């Protein structure tokens, strides 16, 4: 019988559809003894999984509930096949991305402050903000108090399943879109990452939705911030370390760009870190995928992969085969 270890933090009812030929083994986050399993479904919180990984024996396959798997190879070694939850978080992460873009362009964080202070005329501060972030000091009448997404130039860096869903959600806004990925493609047109620097000055909104790899580490650093046009909105829904945090802090404090991020480096972001108090920043604490649909979608993805594995069929979401 195939032994499948799963996080005890997730209710057993979510695994009710698993085949009878499978022995489901709940793994406590404070596991203190060795356990033999064939397939491991790690806890979505890496720190919990990393604590118990040394006690797991016999693993042949890892079925991650997350899209990112960068911590797993070191935890299980080279002789284990690793699959991610490709497709499970498309909707939630894409919705966060679109919401973050709109919230920033509509100055919603500022208007929450206005509501909390109860001073209607503070709305005119939005005009000064627009002049500062756009670099256009001349006053317009009526005064500018928010911006539009429609017809903006969007650079989508990463064009996997989530990137494609973001593109679908952007379509009603008739944005001008350019795509960047690890390798070039022709249909639709996708630029190779080697052309990223040439495309940055064109963009008004840059969305990062690519995996963290040695090649993407600090993909956005001092040089890339220097290439951005005044008022560019950088949106990071991928991994914090894709952006050089010190360079991000510097760019935000200089007032040349703005950002909306769900991920940071380090993470969790420590109390007192300078990023917390940067101007022109909308920050959420890595919550983009945390909807009520997270568990059922990601576990269904794992179940589908498990059935293929048991049937001897090719796996769909392999990010690293066993060696």
Residues 237 and 167 in one domain: yes
Asked about 168 being catalytic, the answer comes back as no
pLDDT at 51 over 90: yes
Residues 312 and 252 in one domain: no
Residues 101 and 233 in one domain: yes
SS (H, E, C) the chain: CEEEEEECCCCHHHHCCCCCCEEEEEECCCCCCCEECCEECCCCCHHHHHHHHHHEECCCEEECCCCCCCCHHHHHCCCCEEECCCCCCHHHHHHHHHHHHHHHHCCHHHHHHHHHHCCHHHHHHHHHHHHHHHCCCCCCCCCCCCCCCCCCEEEEECCCHHHHHHHHHHHHHCCEEEEEECCCECCCCEEEHHHHHHHHHHCCEEEECCCCCCCCCCCECHHHHHHCCCCCEEEECCCHHHECHHHHHHHHHHCCCEEEECCCCCCCCCCCCHHHHCCCEEECCCCCCCCCCHHHHHHHHHHHHHHHHHCCCCCCCEEECCC
- Which residue among the candidates 239, 258, 297, 305 is catalytic per the annotation? 239
The per-residue pLDDT for 318 is 97
Is 30 a member of any domain? Answer: yes
Q: How confident is the model at residue 320 (pLDDT cuts 50, 70, 90)?
A: very high
Residues 214 and 102 in one domain: yes
Is 178 a member of any domain? Answer: yes
pLDDT at 75 over 80: yes
Distance CA 194, CA 199 (A): 10
The pLDDT tens digits of the residues spanning 2-44 come to 999 999 999 999 999 999 999 999 999 999 999 999 999 999 9
Is 276 a member of any domain? Answer: yes
Asked about 147 being catalytic, the answer comes back as no
From residue 180, alpha-carbon distances to 91, 189, 238, 279 in Å are 20, 9, 14, 28
- Domain residues for the domain of 59 are 2-88+291-320
The per-residue pLDDT for 74 is 95
Asked about 267 being catalytic, the answer comes back as yes
Is 123 a member of any domain? Answer: no
Residues 265 and 162 in one domain: yes
Residues 162 and 179 in one domain: yes
Residues 94 and 53 in one domain: no
Strands of 318-320's sheet in order across: 22-27, 2-7, 39-40, 61-63, 81-83, 318-320
Residues 38 and 56 in one domain: yes
Q: How confident is the model at residue 139 (pLDDT cuts 50, 70, 90)?
A: confident
Which residues are CB-neighbours of 124 under 8 A, at least 6 positions away?
143, 145
Residues 240 and 305 in one domain: no
Is 221 a member of any domain? Answer: yes
Residues 295 and 230 in one domain: no
Is 138 a member of any domain? Answer: no
pLDDT at 259 over 90: yes
The per-residue pLDDT for 99 is 98
The per-residue pLDDT for 136 is 83
pLDDT at 214 over 90: yes
Is 121 a member of any domain? Answer: no
- Which residue among the candidates 122, 267, 273, 320 is catalytic per the annotation? 267
- Domain total in the chain: 2
Residues 203 and 235 in one domain: yes
**In the predicted model, what is the mean pLDDT of residues 281-293?**
96
Residues 206 and 178 in one domain: yes
pLDDT at 137 over 90: no
**In the predicted model, what is the mean pLDDT of residues 60-72?**
94
CATH number at residue 70: 3.40.50.720
Number of Cβ atoms within 10 Å of the Cβ of 302: 26
- Which residue among the candidates 153, 286, 308, 320 is catalytic per the annotation? 286
The per-residue pLDDT for 39 is 98
CA atoms within 13 A on the CB side of 94: 20
């Amino acid at each position: 019988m195939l032994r499948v270890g799963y996080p005890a933090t997730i209710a057993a009812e979510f695994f009710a559809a698993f085949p009878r030929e499978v022995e489901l083994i709940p793994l406590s986050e404070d596991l203190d003894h060795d356990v033999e399993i064939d397939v491991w479904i790690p806890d979505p919180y890496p720190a919990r999984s990393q604590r118990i990984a040394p006690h797991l024996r016999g693993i042949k396959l890892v079925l991650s509930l997350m899209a990112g798997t960068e911590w797993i190879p070191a935890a299980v070694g080279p002789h284990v096949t690793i699959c991610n939850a490709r497709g499970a978080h498309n909707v939630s992460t894409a919705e966060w991305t679109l919401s973050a873009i709109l919230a920033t362009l509509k100055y919603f964080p500022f208007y929450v402050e206005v509501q909390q202070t109860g001073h209607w005329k503070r709305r005119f501060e939005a005009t000064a903000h627009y002049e500062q972030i756009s670099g256009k000091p001349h006053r317009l009448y009526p005064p500018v108090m928010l911006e539009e997404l429609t017809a903006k130039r969007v650079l989508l860096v990463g064009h996997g399943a989530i990137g494609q869903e973001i593109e679908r959600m952007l379509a009603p806004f008739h944005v001008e879109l350019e795509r960047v990925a690890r390798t070039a493609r022709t249909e639709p047109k996708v630029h190779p990452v080697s052309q990223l620097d040439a495309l940055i000055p064109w963009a008004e909104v840059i969305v990062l939705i690519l995996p963290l790899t040695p090649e993407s580490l600090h993909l956005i650093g001092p040089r890339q911030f220097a290439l951005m046009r005044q008022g560019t909105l950088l949106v990071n829904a991928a991994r914090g370390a894709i952006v050089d945090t010190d360079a991000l802090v510097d760019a935000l404090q200089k007032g040349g760009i703005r950002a909306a991020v769900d991920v940071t480096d380090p993470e969790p972001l420590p109390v007192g870190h300078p990023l917390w108090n940067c101007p022109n920043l909308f920050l959420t604490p890595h919550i983009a995928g945390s909807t009520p649909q997270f568990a059922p979608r990601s576990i269904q993805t794992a179940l589908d992969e498990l059935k293929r594995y048991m049937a001897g069929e090719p796996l769909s979401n392999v990010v690293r085969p066993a060696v």
